[in-house]
Amino acid sequence: MKIQRVRGTRDFYPEDMAIQSWIADAWRRVSLRNGFLQYDGPILETMDLYRAKSGDEIVGQLFRIDSRSGEELAIRPEMTPTLARMINAKVQSLPRPIKWFGIGPFYRGERPQRGRSREFLQWNVDVVGTDDLLADAECIFVAVDLLREIGLGPEDVVVWINDRRLMAAVFGELGIPESRHLAAYALVDKADRMERAKLAAVWAESLGDVAGFEAIEPLLAVESLEALRSCDHSVMRTPTVTKWLAELESLFLVLQDFGITEFCDFKMTIVRGLAYYTGCVFEAFDRQGKLRAVLGGGRYDNLLRALGGPDLSGVGFGMGDPVVLELLRELNRLPDPHAALDVFVVAADDESASTAVRLVADLRGRGVRTDFAYRRQAVAKQFKAASARGAERCVIVGTETRERDTVTIKDMSTGAQTQRPMVAFLADPLASIPPSQNP
């Protein structure tokens, strides 16, 4: 019987693992240089944690486990609730602001599709303990820093930004009561993925008794800060809306100081589907609009308190590996997945086999990525194996090594060769090979 992998999961062959490790290394590198500390939590949490704060959308996607002791458990679909729980447990001893990042696997029981799977690796970045918009701006900066780190520019990606407080003010001016704002957010969040006629019908069914779709439809087309400022919709001139518009403009001024405004702009339909967001929200998309969001996040002012902790504000975002790797693949920007070697040790004859093994062990002990052929083969075949492994150079041990303690080094990209005493080679195994030495 042939057993298939579970639908929506992934097998990671070495070349796939190399790519995922590459993106995880970039996440870690960017986080550390921006002053964030790494953390992690358990892969299992109680269902109550997600019922409390993630909203119906996430709860409906959970992989649920009923333990033998009767506990209702879930495999984590996101990290922010775990972050809140962990901070609450030690909040008095943690310095403020709390700047943490995490990298780990997550699982959602949803329909697999392009750029979205049931399992994914995700990077989470959060700042907790301050309501200063500098924290919002810094999170957006870290997101852009990563995009640049992996070779994406403003011509490739855009970070769309909005503010739930602005949207709440708009909803209020349209006559939508606060008790029904979550329903309005959910529909606005789907506006870019749903045909207008269907969206209008769903809106009429859900909110038509308090606000007609025609009242909000013109606002859904606003896709720049300039267009927002000049929008002639009546709600944009009301005091509550202008207050939060000014706050949003202040955020963009800080983003200008960070030097990333070329990546950022406003979009009315960015509200985020999760229930706990309360302020600035943002999502990054490819400029062509072909894929799902590359990353998304925002401010959550009430999450820690709702889970039994203090009244601490937070802001953060998450980036999963499926969409960003799909985008890089689309743009032909993925790195070479083949694990490169620094050195491939070639035994020129049977008498040199033992010397070759000792040299391999010595080089590996010095941190040099080194491999060799198990079987005794002709030198040409060993060169071919080295090339297949992406080796930068071959080190050939043979008669000269036994007689004069000398090795021959071959640059695999140019074919240049040179000889060095073994002692000199081991002192600098990765020294460049002069092109003039090419035979």
- Helix (H/G/I), strand (E/B), else coil: 14: helix
- Please confirm whether the linkage preceding 97 is cis (ω < 30° from 0): yes
Span 49-65, mean pLDDT?
Answer: 72
Could you tell me if 414 and 307 lie in one domain?
no
- Provide φ and ψ at 412, rounded to 5°: -75, -15
Question: Would 106 be classed as within a structural domain?
Answer: no
Residues 246 and 351 in one domain: no
Q: Where are the beta strands (DSSP E) in 129-278?
A: 157-163, 264-266
Query: Does 217 have pLDDT greater than 90?
Result: yes
Query: Does residue 40 carry a pLDDT above 80?
Result: yes
Task: Tell me, yes or no, whether 396 lies in a domain.
Answer: yes
Q: What's the pLDDT at 63?
A: 86
- Residue where a domain terminates, one of 297, 330, 363: 330
Of 208 and 306, which is predicted with more confidence? Answer: 208
Place of tokens 């970045």: 125
Rama region for 44: left / alpha / beta (φ>0; ψ in -120 to 50; rest):
beta
pLDDT of 338 strictly over 90: no
Confidence band (pLDDT; 50, 70, 90) for 352? Answer: very high
| Domain membership of residue 373 as a residue range | 343-437
64: confidence class by pLDDT, cuts 50, 70, 90: confident
| Residue 54 confidence class, pLDDT cut points 50, 70, 90 | low
Q: Which of 289, 307, 330 is the last residue of a domain?
A: 330
User: Given this model, what pLDDT does residue 439 score?
Assistant: 45
- Are 320 and 374 in a shared domain? no
pLDDT(115) > 70:
no
Mean pLDDT of 388-405: 94
Strands of the 417-421 sheet, one edge to the other = 370-372, 343-347, 393-397, 406-411, 417-421
Whether pLDDT at 120 is above 60: yes
Least confident of 188-192, 196-200, 334-338: 334-338
Residue 340 has pLDDT above 70, yes or no: yes
Task: Give the tokens for residue 335.
Answer: 């790195």
Has residue 30 been placed in a domain? yes
* Domain stop point among 302, 330, 358: 330
Q: Write out the DSSP string of 7-40.
A: TT-----HHHHHHHHHHHHHHHHHHHHTT-EE--
Res. 428: pLDDT tops 60: yes
pLDDT at 125 over 70: yes
The upper half-sphere exposure of residue 61, i.e. CA atoms within 13 Å in the direction of its Cβ, equals 20
CA atoms within 13 A on the CB side of 337: 15
- Specify whether 312 is located in the same domain as 347: no
Q: Which range has highest mean pLDDT (6-20, 96-110, 136-150)?
A: 136-150
pLDDT of residue 88 exceeding 60? yes
Residue 118 CA to residue 243 CA, distance in Å, equals 41
Q: Is the pLDDT of residue 112 over 80?
A: no
Tens digit of each residue's pLDDT (9 = 90 or more) over 142-151? 999 999 999 9
Query: pLDDT confidence of 45, banded at 50, 70, 90?
Result: very high
CATH number at residue 157: 3.30.930.10
**What's this model's pTM, rounded to 2 decimal places?**
0.88
Residue 423, pLDDT > 90, answer yes
- Is residue 90 in a domain? no
Per-residue pLDDT, averaged over 201-229, amounts to 93
pLDDT at 65: 83
Does 205 map to a domain?
A: yes
Instruction: Say whether both 408 and 299 belong to one domain.
Output: no
The verdict on residue 178 lying in a domain is yes
Higher-pLDDT residue of 7 and 422 is 422
Mean pLDDT of the residues in the chain: 91
Q: Which CATH number does the domain housing residue 353 bear?
A: 3.40.50.800
Instruction: Look at residue 95 and tell me if it is in a domain.
Output: no
Residue 57: pLDDT band (50, 70, 90) is low
Q: Is the pLDDT of residue 242 over 50?
A: yes
Mean pLDDT of 73-102: 92
> Same domain for 361 and 382?
yes
What is the pLDDT averaged over residues 14-41?
Answer: 96
Domain count, the chain: 2
β-pair type (72-75, 417-421): unpaired
Q: Are residues 189 and 318 in the same domain?
A: yes
The Cβ of residue 326 has, within 10 Å, a number of other Cβ atoms equal to 19
Same domain (yes/no): 174, 307 = yes
Residue 216 CA, chain-centre distance (Å), reads 33
Nearest to 280 by CA among 251, 304, 303, 255: 251
Mean predicted confidence (pLDDT) in 219-237? 92
Same domain, 27 and 165: yes
pLDDT tier, 396 (very low <50, low <70, confident <90, very high otherwise):
very high
Q: Is 53:182 a contact under the CB 8 Å cutoff?
A: no
Let me know if residue 395 belongs to a domain.
yes
**E strand or H helix at 296, and its extent?**
strand 295-300
- Give the mean model confidence (pLDDT) for residues 172-192: 93
Q: Are residues 323 and 347 in the same domain?
A: no
Verify that 316 and 351 share a domain, yes or no: no
Same domain, 296 and 272: yes
Q: What is the pLDDT of residue 438?
A: 47
